[in-house]
Amino acid sequence: MPNPELERARTRMFEKADRQKAIVATSVVLMLLFGFVAFLNMINSVNLAFRAGQRPLERFLYWMVVSALAFVGPYGFYLAKKHREIKLVERRLPDFLRDVAEAGRFGMTLADAIVVSSAGRYGKLTAEIKKMAAQINWGVPATEALRLFSNRVKTPMVQRVVAIIVKSSDAGGDVADVLTMVSHDTKENQLTEDERRITMSTYIAVIYISFMVFLVTIWILNVTFLPKMLEASSALSGGDTTLVGASPLAENLPEVVFSIRIAFFISLIVHAIGDGILAGVLDTGRIPNGMRHSFIMLLIAFFAFLVI
């Protein structure tokens, strides 16, 4: 006879996986859609400009940025939300292990200790503990309920803790002492990780500051240096006889200025994507978690160039 609670737990796990696949699929579809719009603007089949007077190459680059935003935005913020929820679950894990260990010292089995401890409050972890307790009440062995919990949460910390507890229970050792040891070790790991995150947050702030400094530098060049070049071009093309042979340069100078502005725009986009990925690696050690930072920097760059 199938276990209803076990089936519901598996259904929720598959729903989470399906939600992630749906978000990735939606992001890819939006990226391809806006990328196609960018291609149409590049070949001048359509004229969807973000401001008046944009050339096909400018429209293409702007729509490519929108395409990149559509890809990294939804998936990046979904990963950030998922990571935050996992951390909230892991934060109360040492408290739960300590309570199970204390219950075990009174002679309770591992299954009974988990059921008794499920009456406590552990924040985001409470729902998962109640699922384990319900599974145990339906006849699922405690070790199997712990494995299902590990599959639902799926973090290295939880998987390591569950593996140690299951091995200890199967070996017939004193589970209470093992739980106490694992609780202390998990707490120490969390404190170490908190210290690392505090240290890394300084470097992440430096990345954002360097990006803004680069943006301000480009802005200064756009409002001071490049307009002076165009003024010089106008003076030369206006017939200044003292500068013989400068007319060909004056004719090509507007195109040179346009190329410089395009180069500025591309460099800023590459800067935003690269800095965002680096910030994600420093923050969590994973490249995909940098998508959220890349989205923020790309959005800043996009609107900044619309103003510039």
> Cα separation of 179 and 199, whole Å?
30
Instruction: Measure the CA–CA gap between 101 and 179, rounded to whole angstroms.
Output: 5
User: What confidence tens digit (pLDDT) does each residue in 39-57 have?
Assistant: 999 998 888 888 887 888 8
Phi-psi region of 139 (alpha: psi -120 to 50; beta: other; left: phi over 0): left
| Same domain assignment for residues 43 and 58 | yes
Q: Are residues 144 and 203 in the same domain?
A: no
Whether 178 is in a domain gets the answer no
Asked if 54 and 113 sit in the same domain, the reply is: no
Give the structural domain span for 118.
93-173
Query: Does residue 114 carry a pLDDT above 70?
Result: yes
The mean pLDDT of 276-293, rounded to a whole number, is 86
Residue 243 DSSP class: S
Percent of the chain with pLDDT over 90: 22
Residue 4: pLDDT above 70?
Answer: no
Virtual CA dihedral for 297, 298, 302, 303, nearest 10 degrees? Answer: -30
Indicate whether 153 and 74 sit together in one domain.
Answer: no
Q: Mean of the pLDDT values across residues 252-267?
A: 86
CA nearest to 57, candidates 298, 261, 297, 306: 261
Domain contains 109: yes
**pLDDT value for 63:** 93
Q: Are residues 271 and 217 in the same domain?
A: yes
> What is the mean pLDDT of the segment spanning 67-93?
87
Q: Establish if 270 belongs to a structural domain.
A: yes
Comparison of pLDDT for 251 and 116, the residue scoring more:
116
Task: Report, as an integer, the average pLDDT of 210-234.
Answer: 85
Query: What's residue 241's pLDDT?
Result: 44
| Residue range 269-297: mean pLDDT, rounded | 89
Q: Both 146 and 239 in a single domain?
A: no
Q: Are 298 and 65 in contact (CB under 8 A)?
A: yes
Structural domain tally of the chain? 3
Residue 257 lies inside a defined structural domain of this protein = yes
pLDDT of residue 11: 46
- pLDDT value for 197: 85
Query: Is 45 contained in some domain?
Result: yes
Average pLDDT estimate for 115-138: 85
Examine the domain organization and report whether 68 and 83 are in the same domain: yes
- The span from the first CA to the last CA of the chain, in angstroms, equals 68
Q: Which amino acid is at 267?
A: S
CB atoms closer than 10 angstroms to residue 214: 17
Question: Across the chain, what does the average pLDDT equal?
Answer: 82
302 and 193 inside one domain: yes
- State whether 300 and 188 are in the same domain: yes
